[in-house]
Structure 1
Amino acid sequence: MNRQPLTVMIVEDDELAAKIYEQFIHKVDGYRVVASAQTGKQALELLNVFTPDLILLDVYLPDMNGIELLWEIRRRHRGIDFIMITAANDTETVSEAIRGGAFSYTIKPIIVEKFISVLERFAAARQQLSTNRVVEQHEVDSLFRNDRKAAAPETAAKKMLPKGIDKHTLRLVREKLLQESASINADELAERVGTSHSTVRRYLEYLVTNNELEIDMIYGSIGRPERRYKRKQH
């Protein structure tokens, strides 16, 4: 018997970012986006009509802090879970998100593979809790482990960036690539990032070796083939 899809509300004031999250969610089986809100007030009004299983929540909203919204929704709707997606990286905000019971906390710009992995783990946890009446200690440990084990390889990777690859520039390049639905060449991306062709090319090639991008070779009638880059589809 097919399970009912997990329903998702996106609370994000950046309309483009919300659409990108929705595209990524569609890559994961068992999810359905039912609404988007750009303010805390809109989110609370929508919750008067229906109750989603999961809310993807930003901290920086135009009318209220996302953590305050989390606690307000917690008071009204105990059965909703949260995944935080935000640029807020201060320890106070992260601590409050943990106290509020957020399932995961992702600092922008998001990495597609990590985002999809979080959704898959959330779905697995929901399934486990809905089908089992009791759980063993190792299963409880797995549920409460959440992102800690998954975060370790990523942290190690950041510390081991090759020479010439700066983490801040890398984050910017990834952010710009997330906004592209089609392939892009180094010149086009250099214009968006605001740096040189050679610098962007170095970062693009690094992302290829890191298995985040793939290359399209466009062969014209004259000259060298054009090297275009696009995100890998998972």
Structure 2
Amino acid sequence: MSKQFIQVMIIEDDETAAKIYEKFTQKVEGFQVVATTSSGKQALELFNVFTPDLILLDVFLPDMKGTDLLWEIRKKFRGVDVIMITAANDVDTVREAIRGGAFSYLMKPIMLDKFLETLEQYKEARTKLFSLKTVQQDDVNSFFGIKNREEPILGEDKTGTLPKGIDKHTLKKIRQQMKETAVSTNADELAKIIGASHSTVRRYLEYLVSNNELEVEIMYGTIGRPERRYRRK
């Protein structure tokens, strides 16, 4: 099966800026710039033959304001995502971009690191939305750019020390993997994913059960001991 790219349309009347966005977007794995246009009218004409996954949209276009074009796109193509790239720093424009459902708003002059980071964040959010069947509040927070508050860990003392045999980095890794796992898993399956031993993973899973973060499902087979499978509550 061929690789599925995120297809991008760039709407920018500054030819130099458009070429820069195209060059660096192509450098990010999984993205493919399919079309570039310099006006709102041309963009709407292109939509008759091609619907992108993502638009990089300037606000100051020669024939219309980018936020007005955003609403025109929303009327017919709700499945298209938009990242605004603009010199506009007035509150009204930012407010319209938020109301129009823009994924992000990058202000010129664009910092390359921020540009690439935003594309990676978009790709991660898109991948997660297509792979998950249900979401937790932390997932929703990440989609809306809300930073998740660190939950206190049961078993820590006042200095933040974890119980003996529980390392905070390994714990974070296992927590994250369980958050991304939609179905139940056992210690062997999780150990293969994170590259740890069965006994280590089992210890951390049981610790999370004791913290009331996971629940255990006992599976009875015909041979051997019952299997313990873990899942988020």
Into which bin does the TM-score normalised by the smaller protein fall?
0.5 to 0.7
* Per-residue deviation, 1:98: 0.4
**Unaligned stretches of 5+ in structure 1?**
148-234
Once residues 57 and 132 of structure 1 are traced to their aligned partners in structure 2, the CA distance between those partners, rounded to angstroms, is: 28
Once residues 6 and 51 of structure 1 are traced to their aligned partners in structure 2, the CA distance between those partners, rounded to angstroms, is: 11
Does 2:43 correspond to 1:43?
yes
Match of 1:92 in 2: 92
Match of 1:104 in 2: 104
Once residues 48 and 39 of structure 1 are traced to their aligned partners in structure 2, the CA distance between those partners, rounded to angstroms, is: 15
Match of 1:8 in 2: 8
Q: The residue matched to 2:22 in structure 1 has which SS?
A: helix
Once residues 34 and 146 of structure 2 are traced to their aligned partners in structure 1, the CA distance between those partners, rounded to angstroms, is: 25
Preserved CA contact (<8 Å) 1:11 1:37: yes
Name the aligned partner's letter for residue 91 of structure 2: T
With over 3 angstroms needed to count, the CA separation of the structure-2 counterparts of 1:146 and 1:17, relative to structure 1, is: farther
* Per-residue deviation, 1:26: 1.6
1:5-33: CA deviation from partner (whole Å, max 9, x where unpaired): 10000000011100000111022100000
Higher RCO (C-alpha 8 Å, min separation 6):
1
**TM-score between both structures, scaled by the size of structure 2:** 0.62
Once residues 2 and 121 of structure 1 are traced to their aligned partners in structure 2, the CA distance between those partners, rounded to angstroms, is: 23
Stretch of structure 1 that moved more, 2-11 or 32-41: 2-11
**Unaligned stretches of 5+ in structure 2?**
148-233
* Per-residue deviation, 1:88: 0.5
Does 2:77 correspond to 1:70?
no
* Per-residue deviation, 1:104: 0.4
The correspondence of residues 1-234 of structure 1 with structure 2, limited to 5 A, is 3-145=3-145
Matched length? 149
Name the aligned partner's letter for residue 92 of structure 2: E
Preserved CA contact (<8 Å) 1:11 1:40: yes
1:86-118: CA deviation from partner (whole Å, max 9, x where unpaired): 010000000000000100001101000000000
Preserved CA contact (<8 Å) 1:103 1:146: no
Larger proportion of helix: 1
Name the aligned partner's letter for residue 141 of structure 1: N
The RMSD of aligned alpha carbons is 1.8
* Per-residue deviation, 1:143: 1.0
Preserved CA contact (<8 Å) 1:13 1:39: yes
Q: The residue matched to 1:56 in structure 2 has which SS?
A: strand
Q: The residue matched to 2:109 in structure 1 has which SS?
A: coil
Preserved CA contact (<8 Å) 1:40 1:63: yes
